[in-house]
Amino acid sequence: MTPEQFVAGLPKAELHMHLEGSIEPDLFLRLARRNGVDIRWSTEAELRAAYSFDDLQDFLNLYYDGCRVLVQSQDFHDVTREYLHRAHADRVLHAEMFLGVQGHTTRGVAPATIMDGVLGAMDEALAEDGISSGLIVVAQRHRSEAEALELLDSLAPWYDRLMGFGLGGAEVGHPPRKFAEFFRRCRALGFKVVAHAGEEGPAGYVREAVELLQVQRVDHGNACVDDAALVAELAQSRIPLTMCPLSNLRLHVVPSVAAHPLKRLLDAGLCVTVNSDDPSYFGGYVNDNYLACQVALGLERADLVRLARNSFEAAFISEERRAFALRAIDAWSAEAEAEVQGAARAEAT
């Protein structure tokens, strides 16, 4: 069994993926035509050529501009359903997706339009493909905390369908402490809380996310390597890091996948997971990220299994669902090992 075959069949969860970042060029162009949105590109090739970024802010400029093609409930449904179908093909059993509601409501899109489309597609994916999913609404950190609190209140009709709230967007100049009250409110309402930290921001942002916001996961978290005490604390607490290697490469957070801290942190005992972030823009879904790390970081099959197990340890799912997923990983690992043993016996004879 090749690494590609092993990863393809390895059960996994994806915990760091922005729905708006999964709009493939063909769908992007279809949505623009459907809604009469004037865009700068006329072909898929032209659009893909624009996916070259200098840094996070450069990417976000295009990302926010691209959100304009999402207008109707059907648009949000189609984006969500296409991602979940693609994730299912990568043997993702469970996906937890980010949604930047503020980027749409500020354009005049009603919350019900957004939520009805996304939640309907999630229900459809569970019924048709058996892939479970959860929705995490992200507050945009370049906006004020007051706006984040307004966002929280505006989504009250859907509290029973939301998994949690997070913090995303450009880090520099927007430390986690800016949203301390917002996160306190989210926790008081019983939501799971996560935050992007340590992608372009310093290790101190990761510490603030953990200590002030009391997050249950850190999204990215690369910069923690600059604080040995923090690394040790994250290893002890098992607060997960949802890392995105190909995203980090395309946004110049790391010079190469070989330089990515994922393997060092995994070896240090942290609960590291592998995810795609914005797969359409960064040229790789979750399996592409696993394989890029396998090649560049020299991951063994046991490392890949550990990453998959970590993804379910870090997921906001029931213990029953977690146990089911871990058994599926063990079964796939046993099948791969049996194939190795069978090949060895055949060679010996």
| CA 87/CA 104 separation, integer angstroms | 24
E runs forming strands in 198-325: 217-220, 241-243, 272-274
Helix (H) or strand (E) holding 334: helix 319-348
More confident residue, 341 or 4: 4
pLDDT at 253: 95
pLDDT at 349: 67
Let me know: does 251 contact 289? Beta carbons within 8 Å: no
How many distinct helices (H) and strands (E) make up the chain?
Answer: 17, 8
Phi, psi of 168 (to 5 degrees): -140, 180
pLDDT at 341: 74
Q: What is the pLDDT of residues 15-31, one digit of tens each?
A: 999 999 999 999 999 99
| CA 234/CA 78 separation, integer angstroms | 37
CATH number of the domain residue 84 falls in: 3.20.20.140
- Answer whether residue 120 shows pLDDT above 80: yes
Specify the 3-state DSSP secondary structure of 276: coil
List, in sequence order, the alpha helices (H) in 223-318: 228-237, 245-250, 262-267, 279-282, 286-296, 301-314
Q: Which stretch of 9-18, 45-54, 245-254 has the lowest confidence by average pLDDT?
A: 45-54
Q: What is the pLDDT of residues 149-206, one digit of tens each?
A: 999 999 999 999 999 999 999 899 999 999 999 999 999 999 999 999 999 999 999 9
Query: Mean pLDDT, the chain, as a whole number?
Result: 95
Centroid of chain to Cα 323: 22
Instruction: State the catalytic residue, choosing from 14, 82, 199, 208.
Output: 199
Both tokens of 312, joined, read 């379910």
Q: What is the pLDDT of residues 190-202, one digit of tens each?
A: 999 999 999 999 9
- Answer whether residue 220 shows pLDDT above 80: yes
| CA 215/CA 140 separation, integer angstroms | 16
Let me know: does 288 contact 246? Beta carbons within 8 Å: yes
Let me know: does 66 contact 28? Beta carbons within 8 Å: yes
Q: How many domains is the chain partitioned into structurally?
A: 1
- Answer whether residue 347 shows pLDDT above 90: no
pTM of the full structure: 0.94
Q: What is the pLDDT of residues 286-305, one digit of tens each?
A: 999 999 999 999 999 999 99
- Answer whether residue 324 shows pLDDT above 80: yes
Dmax (CA) for the chain in angstroms is 72
- Answer whether residue 38 shows pLDDT above 80: yes
| CA 329/CA 151 separation, integer angstroms | 38
pLDDT at 227: 98
Let me know: does 219 contact 176? Beta carbons within 8 Å: no
Under the banding of pLDDT at 50, 70 and 90, the label for residue 331 is very high
E runs forming strands in the chain: 12-18, 92-99, 132-140, 164-168, 192-197, 217-220, 241-243, 272-274
| CA 79/CA 20 separation, integer angstroms | 8
Active site annotation includes 199: yes
**Domain range for residue 175?**
3-348
